[in-house]
Structure 1
Amino acid sequence: MTHSITPKNIVLYADDDPDDLQLVQEAFAQFARDVEVVTASDGGQALSYLEALSDLDPLPCLIILDVNMPVVDGKQVLRRLRTMERFAEVPVVLFTTSSQPADQGFAEKHGAGFITKPLQFKQMELITDQFIAHCAEEIRKKIRRQMQ
């Protein structure tokens, strides 16, 4: 009998802060085991990763973008994604230390979620759940079943 291994759901996370990258990776590893976090250290790397995906590669179930990054910031990436037919419907969350209404309004205008970065790791279970809430319903249910 052949067993097929269901691939993990991919979350792409772009952030220039290595500590934040590690924090999110650890949170998903602890609170959402059915997720593989692919990281990029700036928006340009995130776009390169996405553009390199073949038609056979699974799309990320979620893209998390830091707003303030060098090279290409999160807002620029979000604008670009919304013009790319293949990625136009992929859920995106802007994840930032900013709590500025203008940043929140930008996210809303471009069909993205907006989550403020936590101050402590113990807040990451809640933040991880908020990330997952932005995924498609079928994926969200699958991930949450794996968490139980």
Structure 2
Amino acid sequence: MDTSAKNIVLYADDDIDDIQLVRDAFSEYSQNVKLVTVEDGLEALSFLKNLSSDDPAPCLIILDINMPRMDGKEALVKIRQMKRFEDIPSILFTTSSQKRDKDFAEKYNAGFLTKPIDFTQMDIIARKFIEHCSDDIKKNITREFN
């Protein structure tokens, strides 16, 4: 399958172990999903700004809250200010379970998922990520499993 036909998921996290776990979680969907990883909010914004109008926009953006240089909250605010990306489903994926972080995500129209303690649940987490996508994208990503 041509990579350009894949749905792009942008994931920003500075923890190598978490990146690998999310990569493993999405491996089940690798036929239809290309996971692009960056190390912080600045790299996420740079990736988005460097997309040409012909490049497909990500179908989902996943942001860790705690990252160096620019955290996920600040990146989410800036993404919501970018016309092309303001409505892209986004998720704050974090070790935090604080109400203020959940409220922040809600204020900026983003999902909120707490990183699991038991990483055997990552396949469930991948499905939860995909649930935030539009119906068409969900069908496209999961079509080989239906």
Name the structure 2 match of 1:134. Answer: 132
Structure 1 outlier segments of 4+, above 2 Å? none
Match for residue 37 of structure 1 among 25, 35, 41: 35
Name the structure 1 match of 2:102. Answer: 104
Match for residue 60 of structure 1 among 44, 58, 61: 58
3-state SS of paired residue (2:73): helix
Match for residue 94 of structure 1 among 92, 95, 99: 92
CA radius of gyration, larger in: 1
Name the structure 2 match of 1:121. Answer: 119
Q: Which amino acid aligns with 2:117?
A: L
Match for residue 16 of structure 2 among 15, 18, 26: 18
Rounded to whole Å, the distance in 2 between the matches of 1:147 and 1:74 is 31
Identity %: 55
TM superposition score normalised by structure 2 = 0.95
Deviation at 1:125, TM superposition (A): 1.1
Q: Render the CA deviation track for 1:63-83: whole Å, top value 9, x for unaligned.
A: 000001000000001000111
3-state SS of paired residue (1:36): strand
Deviation at 1:143, TM superposition (A): 1.1
The answer for unaligned runs of 5 or more in structure 1 is none
Deviation at 1:15, TM superposition (A): 0.2
Moved more, 117-126 or 7-16: 117-126
Rounded to whole Å, the distance in 2 between the matches of 1:147 and 1:93 is 23
The answer for unaligned runs of 5 or more in structure 2 is none
Q: Which amino acid aligns with 2:49?
A: E
TM superposition score normalised by structure 1 = 0.93
Q: Render the CA deviation track for 1:10-41: whole Å, top value 9, x for unaligned.
A: 000000101001110111012x2311100001
Rounded to whole Å, the distance in 2 between the matches of 1:128 and 1:147 is 14
Rounded to whole Å, the distance in 1 between the matches of 2:112 and 2:52 is 29
Name the structure 2 match of 1:81. Answer: 79
Name the structure 1 match of 2:145. Answer: 147
